[in-house]
Every structure is written in structure tokens, then in C-alpha cells.
Amino acid sequence: MSILNSRLRNGSVRQVIAIGVIVVLISLSIPGPVAAAALKSTRESVNETTSEVSSWVASVLETLKKGATPDRERKGIPTSGCDNPSGTRSASGGDSGKSCC
């Protein structure tokens, strides 16, 4: 391992430790009731956001499981307007011998 990589890694570890110590010191300086209120409101908003995200993910997974959107209607091959779906001449021969399709 090169010296440069070890120095960068050591510097990163030191920065993470420094940020952690700063966070701990700031949290210790906040009065208890203020911290409790902040944590309560944060927990409530996290729970609300989590439930919204989980319901969205559930709806997406349900839609993917169905294979299409719920309001989408499948349309088959369009018909040609022919009354006789088999495309053969009618028995009466009223079509002058031509098929209708």
C-alpha cells in the first residue's frame, strides 16, 4: 500500500472522529426538554414519511405484479366491420360470391 493511500485513509478516519466528537459535544449542550421535543417531532415525521413511502412502494409492486395499470383496458385485434366473423360467403349468396372480409 502506498504512503499516499494510508495518509488519505488516516485523514478520513480523523475527520469522521472529529465530526462525531463535535456532534456529541453539541448534543450535550442542548437542554433535555428541547432535545426531547426535537427528537419526538423528528420521530413523528420519519414515521409519517416511512408510511407514505412504504404505501407508494406497495402500490408500485402491486401494479407491477398485475402487469398493467388498473384502469388500462386491453384491446384485441380491431374488427373489420364484417358481420360474418368467419369471412366466408353467406349461405344465401346475397354477397355476389365475395367474402365480406
Closest CA to 99 of 87, 82, 85: 87
Q: Is the dihedral of CA 71, 76, 77, 82 positive or negative?
A: negative
Note the pTM of the prediction, 2 decimals: 0.38
Please, what is the Cα angle at 73 between 68 and 78, to 5 degrees? 125
pLDDT at 89 over 70: no
The residue that leads in pLDDT, 41 or 88, is 41
Q: Is the dihedral of CA 76, 77, 80, 83 positive or negative?
A: negative
